[in-house]
Structure 1
Amino acid sequence: MQAINVTPAELLNVLAGQEVTADEKMTGQFLLVAKENNQTNLPSAMAGAIADIALGQVQLQALVHPLKIAVAQPDWAPYQIDEAFLTKEPHNWFGPEAIVIEKRFDDFTKEYNGTRDSNGGIPRTAIPKNIAEPLLIEDAYWAAYKTFVNDPDGSFAEQIQPFFTE
């Protein structure tokens, strides 16, 4: 698969569904990689998404589980990577899908009347599989993502609160 280095801001814009433009001569499907950088609270040397590029527009196709890729190439210059190492995420954790999944969990917790643990939490086994499984995947995504973020004081990592701690 072809990959390209982009700025971390460009990657995040693609993930959030915001407009990102490319050279109109560039076409095809590419792995977007946040280039190595030292910008606080932004990912560095991280494969983040598969996108289609055509007519100067970059369109998100799939979020990928964060993976370290550090290739010294100029921004937007294609290079080859082995896609066997990529894992596509089932949902875009930066988009509306995540909000819907999290709202289902929130609605469930508001209506739950069963037993709770010593911290007031709902036992994992009491949460329906169709609600819990996407959240477990989301927890794994954010746990991996935060390891790629330039976070010198740990403030970014503190904001990432998993749904499940067990």
Structure 2
Amino acid sequence: MFKNKKAKIDPNMTDTLIGECTVFEGKIKSEAGIRVEGQIVGDIDCAGDITIGEKGIARSNVKARNVVIAGQVVGNVSSTGKLTIKATGQLHGNLSALELAIESGGVFQGTSKMDAKESKDAKDNQAPVTEERLVPREREADHPISTLHDNDQTAVLKTW
């Protein structure tokens, strides 16, 4: 009578909304997108996209595919895709992302780490890295010095 079908969750869809007058405390883990218009205190781990709305406040570490901040985030953000801080957005914490966009007026206080996305083809076509040996610098006394006499004025030129 009842079929036990598991519907495949689409990470491109937002399935969780924290409303404007809602305060949530705890950890959220989701396979689909999350939108925060209220307040959340606790870590967010999301396979999809996260949007922090203009009135949204997240006091948490955020981990997601793409992150859009139009409100306020206090904590570290890790994005496997693009992190966008809108003109009304504020991020107070460190970030790690593949792409970063900060609109004029957006606030970012922290450190950033841009993750490099390397495809297999790019690695294969890359020139081999060769080890360079450092050549010790010669002392100044080892270099020839030429002296010019011009109207009893002495000029010393060093050649390197």
Normalising by structure 2, we get a TM-score of 0.23
Q: Higher relative CO (CA 8 A, sep ≥ 6), structure 1 or 2? A: 1
Who wins on radius of gyration, i.e. which is larger? 2
* Higher strand proportion (structure 1 or 2): 2
